[in-house]
Structure 1
Amino acid sequence: MAEWKRVHWTLFSIVSASFFLDGVLFSLVPTTIYLTDLAQHAPVIFAANSLAFMLGAFLLGRLGDAVGRRLGLVISLTIYTAGALWFAAAFWAGRLDLASALLSTSVINFGVGGEVGPAYAALAEFSPPRRRGAALMLSTNFWNIGAAAIAVASLYYTALATDPKTAVFYTFLTAVALAAIVFLARLHIPESPRWLLARGREGDARALAERYGVPLPRAQPASSSLRGYWGRVAILAAAFTAQLLTYNIAAYYLPYAPGFAYGADAAAVNIAVANAGAAAGAFLLLPLIDRSRRASFLAAFLGGLATATALAAVHGAPASLYFAVLFVNLVFSEWAWAAVSVLESELFPTAVRSTAVGVVTAAAWLINAGAVFTEGVLGAEAFFALLVALWAAGAAAAGYWHRRGVESAARELEELA
């Protein structure tokens, strides 16, 4: 088995920084919208952002298979940095109306959505089999850390500045500064030798493997479609849809729903607590993820179902109790995200791996957009009922995979496709 080498640390660090930035960018609007004149339009903005995320995941996922993991990540970063600059400039100039807010934040989410396919593929294709699960899980966990960090920063800027306009501007300026740092790092990310082989570039793949002292993987037959893999896509999309909606509802959308007991002013605290719980969750799953994917998958959704039921029960109780249960629920949300993310990174051929991840992600985000549109109609209590129902649906998918699915832990990618 290949050992973990310096190049693996380099790739892990750059991809982790990318997910940290993704969490920051994705959380910018939910953590600041209540400070603007557009708070009443939050459901429409969030739904449009979900559709943009879906399109980015699908289109840039395919692009990641066409142009490579490295270039795909550079393109996505360029897109969402431009969107963040657009939003910040329009807001500071006093010209942030609903149309410009919808467009600029959708550009951000299009770029962030486009990160997923090439980032997952790059890490899965370079990591040694026995550490692939932990590497993917810990790297994607930096999304939660970034989301929590920007929520805390937003609270700090709000407390520091008497003018909400200044707080929002500094929050976005922080994100743009981070994007510049990550952009420089991405210029040094190594290309995937598996992708090079899939594109028929054996000489380049061999030279890269020799340069970094890693084994040259076996070439897979180049598959240009997902034919024969749609069953896997369906199971993973169902599970990811359940995880995504429950995460977004609990962490981002509930504070803006009518009837939420703690009000929209609790949005930044809610986001910070939720993502702190999610960030802690990855470390708690470490002992299990590379021992059994199937057991990790099932444990995540059963734990999420139990804690979502508890969260609905304590809504309206003192805020400290509610946020404590929210923290624990998001621990299991991270488990679920990690389990699905690792599986979708492993179970498809190299030539269409980024595309497959993009399709699974896009399917979930399309349904998420529909759920957000109902936010102003259903209200908080209906969302809590939906939260429990979605965790139950995810548990059913995880139970099926536990009985019938492939155990992919510690196996070479070429064995799984």
Structure 2
Amino acid sequence: MARSLENVRPSRTHWLITMYAGGGEFCDGFILSIIGVALPLITVSFGMDSTQAGLLGAAALIGMVFGGLIFGYVTDKIGRQKVYLADLAAFVVLSVLQFFATDPWQLIVLRFAMGIAIGADFAIAGTIASEFAPQKSRGPLMVVVVTMWSLGAATAYGVGWAMLSLGPEGWRWMLASSAVPAALILLLRIGTPESPRWLLKKGRTDEAKAVLTQMLGPDADLADVAEDPGVTVRYLDVFRGPYLRRTIFVALFWACQLLPLYAINTYEPAILGSFGLSHGSGTYVGSMVIQIFFVLGSLSGMLMVNRGRRPLLLWSFGISAIPLLVLSLLSSPPAMLVIVLFAVYAVASMSSQCMQVLYPSELFPTGVRATANGVATAFSRVGAMIGTYGAPILLAYSTSAAMFVGAGIAILGCITSFFLAPETNGMTLNEASASVHHPRTGRSPAESPAMLEETQ
């Protein structure tokens, strides 16, 4: 009996590909979060002004915009595996170089370059993992990928807190420490096969067959992997016609998820301190506790993702707005209540983070799947930058105001999802991406000439 990529149970190879993709997300979360612990030490060490500190905090996010826009497209052109390895190699080199920085601008440039590599990894990791994942397991497997980001962020806070004992120059070890997980994941990624979907799109049928045969056995079937070769979707098509609606949706909901999340992640110790958790290392311990709930929240998506992509996103935004709204209304809440409310926000908001990988992968065909992931990554980071820049301004004015704005953004995400979010649960990648008409030909990618003839 023929076995196809969409209808099999996850094998060891599926899980390894998922974990290796998630390993990159772990590094992304670690690199982007460790700066939150290191930044106060760097500011003192270099005597940085507020402008330099703000640029350093946001440099990686700015780099991600360029990395997503450029390397998503490059990935669709030259293949998944090449970029998959190159971005991790960049992590290793740039992490080590941060240790030797002698002035703020060197660090800003290095963090910007790391952001480019992270943007590339965001575009490729979810793409390659989703293109190998079976239909029924795609949601849960993508939950694993995204959860690794949360685990990396939590680990960064733990490592950063432990390295505070190294003194004023401890920030060098904090920033350089990301080289360790990056080097390990790079070694593990070596040998990862190229996506059979991409190989077929490029006309390399024999190579695609060989990859599937190695994974599924000699009876592997290419039928549900191949797309209509007569329809080619190009870079600019993600900005026109029905694909434009999908691009706007993915960019908006992702930005609404990240704007409060990045603000809280970057300034978590300061936020907790403003609520009274400022005794000794209490803010860092509180931050680590909340990060644990971010991990648990991300994992909770595994319970709901196959019950519906759309309702998961709606409920996630709706519930995550509540604790932020409550925090905005309380003048002097007890420390434990603050932790509980942030924990509720962490679980609710992170439960739908897997949609950041699933929707761009399911809503766009193979020819622009990484491009769409990259474009969504780029525009969503604009939201993250707004959060990173705006949070200290709002916090200086009023912590309650900052929490109120965060609640409003979550509500905006819920409204956006209500009007724009499609339901792709239960569809293969080809079915989900083919459910729109092509902006130039007027037919969906699934409607090949042969299929049209059969229906006449």
Fold agreement, TM-score > 0.5: yes
Question: Over alpha carbons, which structure has the higher Rg?
Answer: 2
Equivalent residue for 1:363, pick from 361, 374, 379:
379
Partner of 1:393: 412
The residue aligned with 2:168 is: 164
Deviates more, 1:67-76 or 1:235-244: 67-76
Q: Return the alpha-carbon distance in structure 2 between the equivalents of residues 101 and 56 of structure 1.
A: 18
Q: How does 1:18-417 map to 2 (within 5 A)?
A: 18-36=24-42, 37=44, 38=48, 40=50, 41-90=52-101, 95=102, 97-159=103-165, 161=166, 163-165=167-169, 167-213=170-216, 215-216=221-222, 217-220=225-228, 221-224=231-234, 225-226=237-238, 227-228=240-241, 229-253=243-267, 255-256=269-270, 260-262=274-276, 268-269=284-285, 271-314=287-330, 316-379=332-395, 380-401=399-420, 405-417=421-433
Q: Indicate the residue corresponding to 2:439 in structure 1.
A: none
Q: Check the 8 A contact 1:277/1:331 in 2, yes or no.
A: yes
Do the aligned partners of 1:273 and 1:326 also contact (CA within 8 Å) in 2?
no
1:315, 1:188 → 2: CA distance?
A: 55
Residue 374 of structure 1 aligns to a residue whose secondary structure is helix
- Distance in 1 (alpha carbons) for counterparts of 2:262 and 2:250: 18
Question: Distance between the aligned counterparts of 2:214 and 2:331, measured in 1?
Answer: 56
Structure 1 CA distance for aligned equivalents of residues 66 and 276 of structure 2:
33
Q: Identify which range, 99-108 or 371-380, moves more after superposition.
A: 371-380
Deviation at residue 411 of structure 1 after TM alignment: 1.2
Instruction: Describe the SS at the equivalent of 2:351.
Output: helix
Distance change (3 Å), C-alpha of 1:411 and 1:310? same
For 2:261, the aligned partner's letter is Y
Q: Helix, strand or coil: the match of 2:307?
A: coil
| Per-residue deviation, residues 250-290 of structure 1 (Å, max 9, x unmatched) | 22235457993458976644542332211101232222101
Which range is displaced more, 367-376 or 243-252?
367-376
Shift in Å at residue 172 of structure 1?
3.2
| Change beyond 3 A, Cα 1:270–1:137 | same
Q: Structure 2: which 5+ residue stretches go unaligned? A: 1-6, 434-456
Distance 1:132 1:139 in 2: 11
Cα distance in 2 for partners of 1:382, 1:64 equals 41
CA-to-aligned-CA distance 1:201-259 (integer Å, 9 cap, x gap): 11211111112115421224332232430101111211111100011122223545799
CA separation in 2, counterparts of 1:39 and 1:123? Answer: 42
By percentage of residues, which structure has more helix?
1
How large is the Cα RMSD of the aligned pairs?
2.3
Structure 1 gaps, min length 5: none
How far apart, in 2, do the equivalents of 1:263 and 1:110 lie?
A: 35
Aligned residues: 406
Moved more, 244-253 or 335-344: 335-344
SS at match of 1:356: helix
Query: Given residue 251 of structure 2, which amino acid in structure 1 is its aligned partner?
Result: A
Whether the 8 Å contact between 1:69 and 1:191 is mirrored in structure 2 is yes
For residue 132 of structure 1, report the CA deviation from its aligned partner: 0.3
**Alignment deviations for residues 350-387 of structure 1 (CA, whole Å, 9 cap, x no partner):** 11001101111111212332343334433334322220
TM-score calculated relative to the size of structure 2: 0.83
Measured at CA, do residues 254 and 84 of structure 1 come closer, stay the same or move farther in structure 2, by a change above 3 Å?
Answer: same
Distance 1:39 1:77 in 2: 32
Looking at structure 2, the residues matched to 314 and 281 of structure 1 have their Cα atoms a distance apart, in angstroms, of 24
User: Displacement of 1:314 after TM fit?
Assistant: 4.5
Distance in structure 2 (CA, Å) of the matches to 1:352 and 1:46 = 31
